[in-house]
Structure 1
Amino acid sequence: MGITLHGIGVVGGIAIGRAHLMSHTEVDIAHYEVPANQVQTEIARFDNAVRKTRKELEMLWGSIPENAPAELGSFLSLHIMILNDATLSREPRHLIETQHCNAEWALKQQLDVLLAQFDEIEESYLRERRADVVQVVDRIFKALAGQAATPHLPAAQSENTIVVAHELSPADMVLFKDGAVTAFVTDVGGATSHTAILARSLDIPSVLALHNAHQIIEEGELIIVDGIQGVVVIDPDEKILAEYKRRQQAFQQEKRRLKALKGAVPTTRDGVAIELQANIELPLDMPQVKANGATGVGLFRSEFLFLGRETLPSEQEQFFAYKEVLEQMGNLPVTIRTLDIGADKMPKWSDHSTFANPALGLTGIRLCLAEPNLFRCQLRALLRASHYGNLHILIPMISSIHELQQARMHIELAKQSLTDEGIPFNRNVKLGVMIETPAAAIMVNNFLKQVDFISVGTNDLIQFTLAVDRSDDMVAHLYDPTHPAVLYLLSQTFRAADRIGVPVSVCGEMAGDARLTRLILGLGLRKFSMHPAHLLNVKQKVLKTDLVEIQPIINKMLKCEDPEKMRDLLEQLNAL
């Protein structure tokens, strides 16, 4: 009987093969005093370690084959950028000089400072960038200790090698370039880690956050990786092995069918056109957007530019980031959301305190209006970038018309300043608001008269409507996208937008959940925006849906108050 481990499946698929344990040697960090006459020598030792690390990363970057995913090179470039940043390459030198401590201890102190800043970030994708900093610093530690920084795969490996590691960095994953690795599992990592993103790009079945797989699994052991269910089976018996081989074959057949849908126009069986767009966190996400046939970017979160740093990003830095995405999408729409940072995790550059109840604090548009210079700088960068593509500006966490009017005033002032300076921009940039508070959903008719489009953020709308924090294990089970109150607000919002003729989209997780696609289609939605990995699954559901056929069940769901009956109706809906 095999042992089963449960983690986070980040790439669907099933792999069966032999385990290869990829080990990283731990480096002990000693602390000792450096005599005054040897301080400069210690600084030189640190500088040499940084140079050696930079050379290793540049060599790895240069060894990436042409057919490798674009993200691999981008993430290695990010590691080089982190290494070159003054917070890592210069600040430890200052600590060595002022504290007369050894290079390892100075580097550890600076790492602790940086990690504390990342731990204050609420956005999961950006918070997990702390792993990239740790990986770069780990390479410097190894250079200081004279150890090899990159593990190696065995010289003679089978076609079905499954890598088992505590964690993997982008540099480690260069080793997968020859395609001999068919899956990997790690003890740590999350759905938005670079390991997960690269796994999706490489299309390798993977399961992360297994906690102790590296200690349990033995070298050469037969294992099954089920990226669909987030399961790893160690030493399976014949019956389990046969069942997973059957599932593997079925999944591969389904995958081939999905790939064939990339160029298909998303239209329901009764001829209604549906728009499927992508949510992104970084310009680095664009290759996956294109690979899955998105018809635009429905949500570009701009927070990555503002978090994990001591100072605000300049207008020029923001301009280049926005321009890069707009140019890649050509004439397709790109909706960029203005800064939306949780009030419980104020960055170092902010003078505002954190809040005991952050969801009701200084967040979204409230923070931008409280920081007019910050807001104006971002708006100028966005407007400048609008000259290079089809930009839509999205204002988050709106709860009153007055906030919208203030935001519009700042936009007009930014436009005037660019006009005065002779800087080109699109004077007809479309403006929209996020409907993610019950107040905005209830008063949606008022907003629809003053904006070009609206986007429903179902994640927050559900949480605020049901008073449920889904990150709280004690109440997370109460988070229910099919709750009658949620369905009522969504239905009323979609109908109001349709009456007035204002485009409406959903950019929360509901949009990417294929189990809910028919439900929100039946409620009236015609534009979805989701993680790029979900696009083809949702498109398949759209192509198999007849809106007239599903309407009787949708009507029953809108009247249903019993959770169990609601689940039964959802099953009936998806069985059509």
Structure 2
Amino acid sequence: MAFTIHGLAVSQGIAIGHVHLISHALLEVNHYHVAQKYIAEELYRLDDAVATVHGELIGLKAAASGGQAHSELGAFVDLQIMLLADPMLVDAARELVSTRRCNAEWALVQQMEHLVEQFQQIEDPYLRERQADVVQVVERLVKVLLGHPGRLPAKRRDGLGTIVVAHDLSPADTIGFRDHNIAGFVTDVGGPTSHTAIVARSLGIPAVVGLHHIRDVLEDDELVIVDGTRGVVIVAPDEHIVEEYRLRRTELELERSKLKRLKDTPANTLCGEHIDLLVNIEGPKDIAAARAVNADGVGLYRTEFLFIGRDSLPDEDEQYEAYRSVLKTMGKRPVTIRTFDVGADKALNGNTRVEPNPALGLRAVRYSLAEPKMFRTQLRALLRASAHGKLRIMVPMLAHAHEIDQTLALVDRAKAELRAERVRFDESVEIGGMVEVPAAALALGMFVRRLSFLSIGTNDLIQYTLAIDRANEAVVHLYDPLHPAVLKLIGATIQTGARYGLPVSVCGEMAGDPAYTLLLLGMGLRHFSMHPANVLEIKQQVLRADVGELAPKVQRILRMDEPMRVREAVERLAG
């Protein structure tokens, strides 16, 4: 008899196939004592496992190089290769084997748990979920040590694909899935920014995550349907249900093929207004995806990915090359580069100090101003790169006027140095700021008088406004982009920008969600920045929109204070 399980929808589409359970090796690790005379042999086992996994990852990186998901998958594999060489993981495990005379598997798991505790103190949800890299590297090592790395089934004769069901999945796992007719992913854990979600979206594979104990419910080879659009897994469906979902899948595939035709269509509303559709990127590797959808530019370049996961900070020349590469590739299209958005909660260049409450601590612009030498290096690299394209520099998490004044003073100092050195740069490069905390949205006057543009980071703005952590499963249901307070802050920011003639963009997840496109257009938003995979779907919404009709409807929504009424009104906009 069929039954349904609900999770988090993280990659759209419908998959029909048979279950393949991936073992969770970390649950099978025993602790046992190793006699002194066998310690050297145990250390050899550990080193041999590291060498084996390193070889696997190198091979998987090469296998990924031909696919469109190479940029994201390759970056994840690079990070896992680095972790294998990190003394905080393998060397620490070797020390445990030697001093405690324990088996290698147990030593790895103990050190993994220690590192995961440190990651859990990180406020930023994306960076916090990078603890998954540590867990997944250790799981690969443990599988080799236990002697069962696992194999996927060959293609089935009935034409149905394989639904991979796991506690969690690593990018390295998913690269190896490419030749096995994988139809969908289902995991116990994860969220919108988990590896499984990111990789599934990049590969275009339906996925549902956050199902808790799904591996305990399903059996190998059982028939299931994964609805990655609605966040539903249907177990043991009958023929009528399967046929219904086959029809739905065909409809979705037709819609996707139609979207590709919009690549070169200008993003103009029915009333003739052009809407800028920009992309969020993490480095030069993502530009191919931006060009594939003919994006109007880069609305958010997250530079912190140049800084994290390494023993030393990137110097000025390394940063300059990364920024220059993106600017040259984008040509005359604008590239908005955000100064690094990390905090003292994240280890940089050996700093392991963890703040008691990093969400309200030394992070983003606060960290930059507290480390002026590091900030100056980045500003010099950015200004040098500005000679090669249309650069805009964006400062994250502003809340005080003096933060802008100090930043602008550092920019002026960097410009003076480059002039003295006769280094070319754009004298008129624009400096903008992110509106991510309620204080900024409620006191925009001090920002608009000092800055050239604004960008609303809805992910943080929602979290700070509602005082919830969207990565915390206990309160994730309270994360509501349509909360009246959130909408009032977003609407007021857009209106203030228009009043002062300052461009305002939205670069959080709301910008890439078609459910909110008409709402944001009605608020007056004309600059959207999102993951490249979302651009064409948002463009379709823009082409169907009449801003003149939307504006009065949205103004009525902004005056509402009952969440249910707001949600119903937003749904009616598309009707």
Settle same-fold status: TM greater than 0.5: yes
Within 5 Å, which residues of 2 pair with 1:358-373? 359-373=359-373
AA at the equivalent of 2:501: G
Aligned to 2:59: 59
Cα deviation per residue 1:513-546 (whole Å; 9 max; x = unaligned)? 3222122212211101123333222211110001
TM-score under structure 2 length normalisation = 0.87
1:411-560 map, 5 Å: 411-420=411-420, 424-465=424-465, 480-560=480-560
> Matched residues in 2 for 1:438 and 1:511: separation?
19
The 3 A distance-change label for structure 1 pair 2 and 393 is same
Distance 1:429 1:468 in 2: 36
How far off its partner does 1:510 sit? 2.6
Q: Cα 1:31–1:283, aligned 2, differ >3 Å: closer, same or farther?
A: farther
Q: Tell me the equivalent position of 1:398.
A: 398
CA distance in 2, matches of 1:206, 1:422: 53
Q: Which shows bigger deviation, 81-90 or 432-441? A: 81-90
Contact 2:522–2:547 (CA under 8 A) maintained in structure 1: yes
Given that residues 19 and 161 in structure 1 are in contact (C-alpha distance below 8 angstroms), is that contact kept between their aligned partners in structure 2? Answer: no
Taking the aligned partners of 1:502 and 1:279, their CA distance within structure 2 comes to 20
SS of 1:151's partner is: coil
Instruction: Map 1:327-406; keep pairs closer than 5 Å.
Output: 327-341=328-342, 345=345, 347=347, 354-356=355-357, 359-406=359-406
Q: Which blocks of at least 5 consecutive residues in structure 1 are unaligned?
A: none
Aligned to 2:5: 5
Partner-residue secondary structure (3-state), 1:447: helix
- After TM superposition, give the deviation of residue 422 of structure 1 in Å: 5.6
**C-alpha distance 419-148 of structure 1, shift in aligned 2 (>3 A):** farther
Match of 1:200 in 2: 201
In 1, distance between residues paired with 2:34 and 2:454? 60
- TM-score normalised to the size of structure 1? 0.87
Counterpart residue number, 2:142: 141
Write the mapping of 1:96-495 to structure 2, written as runs, cut at 5 A. 96=97, 102-145=103-146, 147-154=147-154, 156=156, 158-166=158-166, 167-178=168-179, 180-281=181-282, 284-307=285-308, 314-315=315-316, 318-341=319-342, 345=345, 347=347, 354-356=355-357, 359-420=359-420, 424-465=424-465, 480-495=480-495
- Give deviations 1:462-493, integer Å, cap 9, x for gaps: 45455666567787666554455544443443
Matches of 1:493 and 1:524 in 2, distance apart? 10
Distance 1:158 1:280, change over 3 A: farther
* Mapping for residues 77-92 of structure 1, pairs under 5 Å: 77-92=78-93
Tell me if structure 2 keeps the 8 A contact 1:318–1:381: yes
- CA–CA distance in structure 2, aligned partners of residues 74 and 473 of structure 1: 27
Cα deviation for residue 454 of structure 1 reads 1.1
Distance in 1, matches of 2:570 and 2:253, equals 27
Task: Note closer, same or farther for the CA distance 1:362–1:171 as it changes in structure 2 (3 Å cut).
Answer: closer
Cα deviation, 1:79-100, whole Å, max 9, x if unaligned, reads 3233234444544445555666
Q: Structure 1 residues 437 and 221 mapped into 2: Cα distance closer, same or farther (>3 Å)?
A: closer
What does the per-residue CA deviation read over 1:157-210, in whole Å, with 9 as the maximum and x for residues that have no partner?
543222233133333323432362222322233322222222112211122222
In structure 2, distance between residues paired with 1:276 and 1:439: 27
Once superposed, what is the RMSD of the aligned Cα atoms? 3.3
Instruction: Determine if contact 1:306/1:313 at 8 Å carries over to the other structure.
Output: yes
Contact 1:23/1:151, CA 8 A, preserved across alignment: no
SS at match of 2:382: helix
Q: Compute the displacement of 1:511 (Å).
A: 1.7
The DSSP-based 3-state class of the residue aligned with 1:61 is helix
Q: Distance in 1 between matches of 2:518 and 2:569?
A: 12
Q: Within 2, Cα distance between the matches of 1:81 and 1:87?
A: 11
What CA distance in whole angstroms lies between the structure 1 residues aligned with 2:112 and 2:384? Answer: 36
Q: After the TM superposition, which of the residue ranges 124-133 and 92-101 deviates more from structure 2?
A: 92-101
2:100 and 2:450 mapped to 1: Cα distance?
59
Q: CA contact under 8 A between 1:164 and 1:214: conserved in structure 2?
A: no
**Helix, strand or coil: the match of 2:538?**
helix
Which one-letter code corresponds to 2:244 in the other structure? E
> Alpha carbons of 1:113 and 1:491: their partners in 2 closer, same or farther (altered >3 Å)?
closer
**Counterpart contact for 1:121–1:308, Cα < 8 Å:** no
Partners of 1:310 and 1:347 within 8 A in 2: no
Percent sequence identity is 47
SS in 2 for 1:178: coil
2:183 aligned partner, one-letter code: T
Is contact 1:135-1:169 (8 Å) kept?
A: yes
State whether structure 2 residue 557 is matched by structure 1 residue 571: no
Cα distance change, pair 59–446 in 1 and its aligned pair in 2 (3 A): closer
CA distance in 2, matches of 1:173, 1:288: 19
What one-letter code is carried by the residue in structure 2 that aligns with 1:241? V
Shift of 1:351: 8.1
TM-superposed deviation, 1:296: 1.9
Distance in 2 separating the partners of 1:56 and 1:353: 34
Q: Shift of the alpha carbon at 1:327? A: 4.7
Going from structure 1 to structure 2, the CA distance change for 1:387 and 1:99 (only over 3 Å counts) comes to: farther
Give the C-alpha shift of residue 131 in structure 1: 1.9
What's the secondary structure of 1:149's corresponding residue? coil
Alpha-carbon separation, structure 2, partners of 1:209 and 1:497: 38
Q: Tell whether the 8 Å contact from 1:118 to 1:308 is kept in structure 2 after alignment.
A: no
Give yes or no for contact 2:155–2:161 (8 Å, CA) kept in 1: no
Q: Is the 8 A contact 1:17 1:160 kept in 2?
A: yes
Distance 2:419 2:573 in 1: 53
Matched residue type, 1:133: V
Query: Residue 264 of structure 2 aligns to a residue in which SS?
Result: coil
Q: Residues 249 and 45 of structure 1: is their aligned pair in 2 closer, same or farther, counting only changes over 3 Å?
A: closer
Cα distance change on mapping 1:109 and 1:286 into 2, 3 Å: farther
Q: Deviations over 1:233-261 (max 9, x none)?
A: 01113443333233222222222222222
Residues in 2 aligned to 1:246 and 1:534: alpha-carbon distance in whole angstroms: 23
- Provide the rounded CA distance (Å) in 1 between the counterparts of 2:221 and 2:476: 39
Q: Distance in 1 between matches of 2:333 and 2:74?
A: 25
State how far apart, in whole Å, the 1-side matches of 2:140 and 2:555 are: 59
Q: How many residues align?
A: 571
Contact conserved, 1:34 with 1:102, CA < 8 A, in 2? Answer: no
Partner letter of residue 441 of structure 1? A
Match of 2:20 in 1: 20
Map Cα deviations across residues 343-371 of structure 1 (whole Å, 9 max, x no partner): 7x454755876245x55443332232223
Hey, what's the Cα distance between the residues in 2 that align with 1:138 and 1:93?
16
Which digits, 9 at most, give the CA deviation of each residue in 1:290-317, with x for residues without a partner? 4443222212233334456676555455
Q: Give yes or no for contact 2:3–2:237 (8 Å, CA) kept in 1.
A: yes
- Structure 1 residues 362 and 109: alpha-carbon distance in aligned structure 2, compared to 1, 3 A threshold: same
What SS class does the counterpart of residue 182 from structure 1 fall into? strand
